[in-house]
Amino acid sequence: MVICVTVGVSGRNKSGGDAAASSSNGGVSTSTKAVHAICTPTDYKETCESSLAGANTTDPKELIKVAFNAAVNNIADAIKNSTLMKDAAADNSTKDALDVCNDVLESAVDDLRRAGDKVGEFDATKMDEYVEDLKVWLSAVITYQETCIDAFENTTGDTAEKMKNLLKTARELSSNSLAMVSDISSILGQLQLGNLGGGGASSGRRLMSEEEEPYWTKGRLLAANPLKPNAVVAQDGSGQFKTIKEAINTIPKKNNQTFIIYIKAGLYKEHVEIPKKVNKVVFIGDGPFKTRITGSKSFAGGVKTFQTATVAVNGEEFTAKNIAFENTAGAEGHQAVALRVSADKAIFQNVAIDGYQDTLYAHNYRQYYRDCTISGTIDFIFGDSLCLFQNCVFIVRKPMDNQACMVTAQGRVDPRSVGAIVIQNSHITAEPAFLSTKPAIDAYLGRPWKELSRTIIMQSEIDGFISPKGWSPWMGNFALDTLYYGEYQNRGAGSDLANRVTWKGIQHMTQQKAEEWTGGAAFRGDEWITSSGVPYVPTLMQV
């Protein structure tokens, strides 16, 4: 990975002079005030002020961009560290972990860069939309770094600790960047600068750019009679391609036009990846019982969890309908992902996602699942995306002996991150093999994978096999005070709150709190769903 960054900023004021003037006319104190204001909401103020010390500008846009670039530089330094590369080469597991780091840290750099570009384009008429995009992307930057660290799990030697130390400053800078954009209104108020774009009040109307696809066109994608596919895949030779990979390879690089791949009925034994920047790809099958993509990579088989996915989605605005993704490694395979989604604004309708441990890796960004079925044993929905499941079915499967089952394992690590698992008007049930096992197997709604784990289950049916405690600890007292778990208006024998755990992080969910986790509120801009043609309720439902 080659990363080139320019950090220097030359700010100019309206009269043509430097934005940060010399100390003789008070410019230094003004610049210092600007840096202090920008760093006020951050958790790592010393790191923040140090990263901005040479910025020489009072322009908040430029200061934020300098902060982003500082994070880029630190991430680049971590991945290019020659000593670490040498250590990793001596051990296959460590080398594989470093490969994951290369992949995810490159994505982190991409997100920081586009966040910087977005700040440069700030417009008062789009303030809410811009801020939300920035928060989503910067949350992903933090998640990517955490994923790099996670990849070293069960490796030998001290390479994991070295990588953690190398990323320490980068993680602080990334957290600071998220804090800045999360508190941008307060920062602007302190600097008395009004707004980043200098424009007037918002008209409340979003104009369509020439490049933006009209919603009425996209809305046909998942209608009863979708548009003509760009590629047809069929194992019997009746299509243009016999494998899904072949069809994906025909998509132009950096694609930004809708590309529909119709996958006819069949069992496709291949590992499929939608590359980064190959956007707006649509998979349409003949139904989740007819069109299935299957694989069997697993952690027990020597593959890093991140790399086990049967289908990995990295391109934005991906859509799938009437199809199944599965990992057949079994409970003995331990972590074995059927679907990993590392893509913003991904939508799944009538999709089956089948596996055992770690079935669905809802990695990061924004994701929406409608009328889907997800099966598994342990942590079978995990990750740090902001993901909403509506009208879905979650099927708990029989694990190995002496194992308990957990439906969710959310992985939020930063207090300002957007990440959360939200399950609404869905059904949590179990397969017959699970229910018939004696003695009964313990099963829970979830457990905290990371310190700020956040999961909300509302207006859903929960069957009686779920433990009355509801939630399981990860290990000891880890995260019990800092997690955010809520249940609201659920039904079924497993929904009784009387004997739930009473950890500090368990929420008393009022209607007002629950409304904050509806799609319309949580996504803070859901046009990408409403324009898709997929059924969607942005509010609480009548149940």
What's residue 149's pLDDT?
A: 95
The per-residue DSSP string of 169-203 comes to: HHHHHHHHHHHHHHTHHHHHHHHT---SS---S--
Q: Which two tokens stand for residue 481?
A: 């005070």
Query: Please, what is the average pLDDT of the chain?
Result: 88
User: At 128, is the pLDDT very low, low, confident or very high (cuts 50, 70, 90)?
Assistant: confident
Q: With b meaning 16 or more CB within 10 Å and e meaning fewer, what string describes 423-439? A: bbbbbbbbeeebeeeee
Question: What's the total number of domains in the chain?
Answer: 1
For 409, half-sphere exposure in the C-beta direction (CA atoms, 13 angstrom radius) is 21
The rounded distance, in Å, linking the Cα atoms of 445 and 288 is 25
289: in domain: no
Q: Is it the case that residue 296 has pLDDT exceeding 60? A: yes
The residue ranking higher by pLDDT, 37 or 446, is 446
What's residue 467's pLDDT?
A: 99
User: At 187, is the pLDDT very low, low, confident or very high (cuts 50, 70, 90)?
Assistant: low
Active site (catalytic) residues: 379
The rounded distance, in Å, linking the Cα atoms of 241 and 146 is 38
143: in domain: yes
User: At 201, is the pLDDT very low, low, confident or very high (cuts 50, 70, 90)?
Assistant: very low
What's residue 101's pLDDT?
A: 93
**Residue whose C-alpha is closest to residue 174's, from 342, 315, 43, 362:** 43
Residues 6+ apart with CB under 8 A from 184: 131, 196
What's residue 130's pLDDT?
A: 81
Q: Is it the case that residue 345 has pLDDT exceeding 70? A: yes
Average pLDDT for 39-60: 92
Q: Is it the case that residue 195 has pLDDT exceeding 50? A: no
The rounded distance, in Å, linking the Cα atoms of 47 and 293 is 46
Average pLDDT for 395-422: 98
Q: Is it the case that residue 82 has pLDDT exceeding 50? A: yes
DSSP 8-state secondary structure symbol assigned to residue 252: P
The residue ranking higher by pLDDT, 129 or 28, is 129
Average pLDDT for 94-102: 91
The rounded distance, in Å, linking the Cα atoms of 240 and 186 is 56
**Residue 348 forms beta bridges with which residues?**
320, 369
What's residue 185's pLDDT?
A: 62
Counting beta carbons within 10 angstroms of the beta carbon of residue 249, is it exposed (0 to 12), middle (13 to 18) or buried (19 or more)? exposed
The residue ranking higher by pLDDT, 25 or 459, is 459
Question: How far does Cα 310 stand from its chain's mean position?
Answer: 18
The residue ranking higher by pLDDT, 490 or 212, is 490
140: in domain: yes
Q: With b meaning 16 or more CB within 10 Å and e meaning fewer, what string describes 377-389? A: bbbbbbbbbbbbb
Which of 15-29, 55-69, 211-225, 310-324 holds the top average pLDDT?
310-324
Q: Is it the case that residue 209 has pLDDT exceeding 70? A: no
What's residue 226's pLDDT?
A: 55
Q: Do 384 and 366 meet the contact criterion of CB atoms below 8 Å apart?
A: no
Q: Which two tokens stand for residue 184?
A: 């941008």
**Residues spanned by the domain of 65:** 25-191
What's residue 84's pLDDT?
A: 72
The residue ranking higher by pLDDT, 305 or 200, is 305
Q: Is it the case that residue 57 has pLDDT exceeding 90? A: no
402: in domain: no
What's residue 183's pLDDT?
A: 86
177: in domain: yes
- Other CB atoms within a 10 A radius of the CB of residue 494 amount to 21
Lowest-confidence segment of 156-160, 164-168, 256-260, 406-410 by average pLDDT: 156-160
Q: pTM for this one?
A: 0.90
Q: What is the CATH number of the domain that holds 159?
A: 1.20.140.40
SS3 state of residue 117:
helix
Counting beta carbons within 10 angstroms of the beta carbon of residue 461, is it exposed (0 to 12), middle (13 to 18) or buried (19 or more)? middle
pLDDT in tens, 261-282: 999 999 999 999 999 999 999 9
Q: Is it the case that residue 40 has pLDDT exceeding 70? A: yes
Residues 6+ apart with CB under 8 A from 436: none
Question: Which residue matches tokens 């969890």?
Answer: 305
Which of 1-10, 148-157, 532-541 holds the top average pLDDT?
532-541
Q: Is it the case that residue 197 has pLDDT exceeding 50? A: no
Report percent pLDDT > 90 for the chain.
72
The rounded distance, in Å, linking the Cα atoms of 199 and 127 is 10
Q: Which two tokens stand for residue 129?
A: 């939309």
60: in domain: yes
498: in domain: no
Q: Is it the case that residue 29 has pLDDT exceeding 90? A: no
476: in domain: no
Q: Is it the case that residue 334 has pLDDT exceeding 60? A: yes
What's residue 33's pLDDT?
A: 85
What's residue 217's pLDDT?
A: 42
What's residue 222's pLDDT?
A: 58
What's residue 27's pLDDT?
A: 46
User: At 227, is the pLDDT very low, low, confident or very high (cuts 50, 70, 90)?
Assistant: confident
Q: Do 366 and 136 meet the contact criterion of CB atoms below 8 Å apart?
A: yes
Lowest-confidence segment of 179-183, 298-302, 322-326 by average pLDDT: 179-183
